[in-house]
Amino acid sequence: MLQNELQVETRELTPLEQVFNEQFLPLDRFIADHQFMDMASANIALSEIQMDLLLHCEQILKPQTYIEMVKEWGIEYAPVRYVNDLVACWGKGSGKDMSIQFGFARAANILLCMNSPQAYYEMPGHTIIHMMNVAASSKQAHGVFFKPLRALLTNSPWYADKFEGELPGPQATEIRFKKNIDLVSGHSDAETLEGKNLLLAVADEISAFAMADSATGSRTAPTKTAEGLIDMLKSSATTRFGYEHKVVQISYPRAKGDAILKALEAAKDDEREMGEKATSYASGPYRTWDVNPRFKKLDFIEIPGVELSIPNLPSIIKDYKKNIAFARAKYECAPDAALNRYIRDDLAIFSAFSRQRLIQPITFQYRVGRNEAAGEVIDQWQCDFAISPDFMPIPGAIYAIHADMSLNGDRAGVAMCHVSDYREMTGLQFERRPVVDVDFVNFWEADNTAVNPMTKKSLPREVQLRWLRQLVAFLQERRFPIGLVTLDGWQSVDSIQIMQARGVEAEKFSLDRTPEGYKTLRDVLYESRLQGYTVPDGLDGTHSSTTVVTKELQTLNQYPNGKIDHLPGGSKDVADALAGAVRGAILLGGQDVDPGDATEVVQSAPMPEFESFGGWGQSVPSTFGTFGR
């Protein structure tokens, strides 16, 4: 009756009116308008690279909604390719953080224009929709990303009446909007980030996170690693917003093969294989000045030792003059193997490991069972050893073993070396310098996903210190004269005492506490006095121990405090084992004698006696393919 009297026209709501109570601006106008990001007043426009990332990042609506938007609002609302995983490998200063800050603001803008975001995504009305940034440090997460985002939102007039409660202060780690929309600043502990309904998440400077070691195919991805963090973000996002969620990784690379480069390559693989159906988006690697439009206004200059011209900006020029490798990684996304490589001569590394072997001298095999000699009453993981037929003691050699048992328990490197000869060298005075042979280099590896082959139940495999003791016994039973066994300081007291009680000289030596081991190794490498070997990688794609050790030597980094260590995401377990064994061999001395009949000489040596208790060792045939335990 009122409609008739007041002559009010009735009509059904359009599909867009059912979703939105306000029309939001197209992205380019949102970026420029003074009510929102206000870039026009600063006379700045985003570059094509930045805008393309944002176009894919802002697309949080369902496909049918975009069809209706194009019908009602115009072609400028047409969607781009639907993606969930976005990777941007851009140089420092390229505007990575600013671009994603705009992405967060844009997502909030779209959600706040809805009648009910929860109803749109088919969620209970009380559900909080989260957007989150995560970084390796609170300084990066809050100071570099979240604090500027807060300033951006609180200074934009359109958002003024959209906040829940009082405006967030400068130290806030959460921004709460009406309609149950929260922006959260996270940190590196992924376990504390569980339970969020993530529509949009960014891992900022992902290459600053440690990585689960992928060089050996390790299946362990701790929650604080780059892989663990991304897995957590993706699982929280996909279970709540299967089609519309976005997980973004941004960073410049720290070294070859680090987290951002691995993520970028995976995204490119997805694009190559799936084409328009790919759910990944890859951007980069791009140099800083190719992304940030502000650099277009600068002159470019050439400086000695730098292949390309660089912006005439004092801070960038200073970085290139101080450390070209670091500057190239930071600005060009073209990293060296390490930022400040400790061993820079790749030729020396590969020459030392040029001798080819088809199989390892010592091979490890894991099984589940009991070590009866040790009095074990339950089944657990055991490690058996096989020896190659051509691997036998060399007369005159005294062998040194070093093991790095790894603090995180994922992998333990072990190596054995001996001095085979001396080289006469002249410098300021005549010297005889030792030539060191690498007898073997290998590693044990944990597997958190392992199952008991007999029961088919989960039985995670951990690296065990007793395996080293059993390996030493296995070698001594085959008449290898072990002159010294060294271990890093981590939980090695028990093993050292057990070996000493059985007549083996054993002691602590940590590559983390002193540079002595690596200084010795580098000297031997640079003077071509290290004689190693290389074995092929596995047919299943796993890397051999010699592939791992050469990579680790290439990526050793010396930090400003003098410490020699791997970069975030790297490893040096096997390199530590090699350096420790080389040092031990030089301390022992010895020298290969004229070969003659090596078998006769070895067999004439006294056979050590072994007790059977304690899992110290049991004698088995020393043929390859027969494992000893």
Q: How far is CA 64 from its chain centroid?
A: 38
Average pLDDT along the chain, 629 residues, taken 10 residues at a time: 57 90 96 94 90 97 96 96 97 96 97 97 95 85 88 96 90 93 78 79 89 45 72 90 94 87 96 96 97 93 90 94 87 82 90 93 93 81 94 96 75 95 78 94 91 91 90 94 88 84 91 92 95 90 90 88 81 94 96 66 43 36 41
Structure tokens belonging to residue 435: 């030539």
Structure tokens belonging to residue 288: 């800083």
Close Cβ partners of 123 (under 8 Å, ≥ 6 residues apart): 129, 197, 240
322-366 per-position pLDDT tens digit: 888 889 999 999 987 766 789 988 899 999 999 999 999 999 999
Structure tokens belonging to residue 69: 């938007």
E strand residue ranges, 17-113: 85-90
Q: Are residues 325 and 423 in the same domain?
A: no
**Number of structural domains the chain divides into:** 3
Maximal C-alpha separation, the chain: 119
- Residue 617 falls within a domain, yes or no? no
Q: Are residues 42 and 137 in the same domain?
A: yes
CATH at 251: 3.40.50
Structure tokens belonging to residue 131: 């957007």
CB of 416 closer than 8 Å to CB of 439: yes
Q: Is 410 exposed, middle or buried (0-12, 13-18, 19+ CB in 10 A)?
A: buried
Structure tokens belonging to residue 170: 């400068």
- Residue 103 falls within a domain, yes or no? yes
Q: The domain containing residue 286 runs over which residues?
A: 16-293
Q: Are residues 417 and 325 in the same domain?
A: no
Q: What is the pTM of this model?
A: 0.66
Close Cβ partners of 119 (under 8 Å, ≥ 6 residues apart): 125
User: H/E element holding 96?
Assistant: helix 96-112
Q: Are residues 442 and 500 in the same domain?
A: yes
Strand partners, 130: 182, 198
Q: Are residues 234 and 267 in the same domain?
A: yes
Q: Are residues 135 and 260 in the same domain?
A: yes
Q: Are residues 175 and 71 in the same domain?
A: yes
- Residue 547 falls within a domain, yes or no? yes
Per-residue pLDDT at 494: 84
Strand partners, 418: 437
Close Cβ partners of 44 (under 8 Å, ≥ 6 residues apart): 293, 294
Per-residue pLDDT at 609: 40
CATH at 508: 3.30.420.240
Q: How far is CA 210 from its chain centroid?
A: 5
Q: Are residues 308 and 280 in the same domain?
A: no
Q: Are residues 213 and 305 in the same domain?
A: no
> Strands 430-445 and 411-426: what pairing?
antiparallel
- Residue 382 falls within a domain, yes or no? no
Per-residue pLDDT at 99: 96
Q: Are residues 289 and 308 in the same domain?
A: no
Q: Are residues 32 and 68 in the same domain?
A: yes
Q: Are residues 445 and 517 in the same domain?
A: yes
- Residue 629 falls within a domain, yes or no? no
517-542 per-position pLDDT tens digit: 999 999 999 999 999 999 998 887 78
Residue-by-residue DSSP string for 198-259: EEEEEEETGGGSB---TTTT-----TTBHHHHHHHHHHHHHTT-TTT-EEEEEE--SSTT-H
**Cα-based angle 162, 157, 44 (whole degrees, multiple of 5):** 130
- Residue 366 falls within a domain, yes or no? no
Per-residue pLDDT at 608: 40
- Residue 490 falls within a domain, yes or no? yes
- Residue 616 falls within a domain, yes or no? no
Closest-CA residue to 366 (of 379, 385, 382): 382
For CA atoms 387, 390, 396, 399, give the dihedral sign.
negative
Structure tokens belonging to residue 586: 């030089």
Per-residue pLDDT at 10: 57
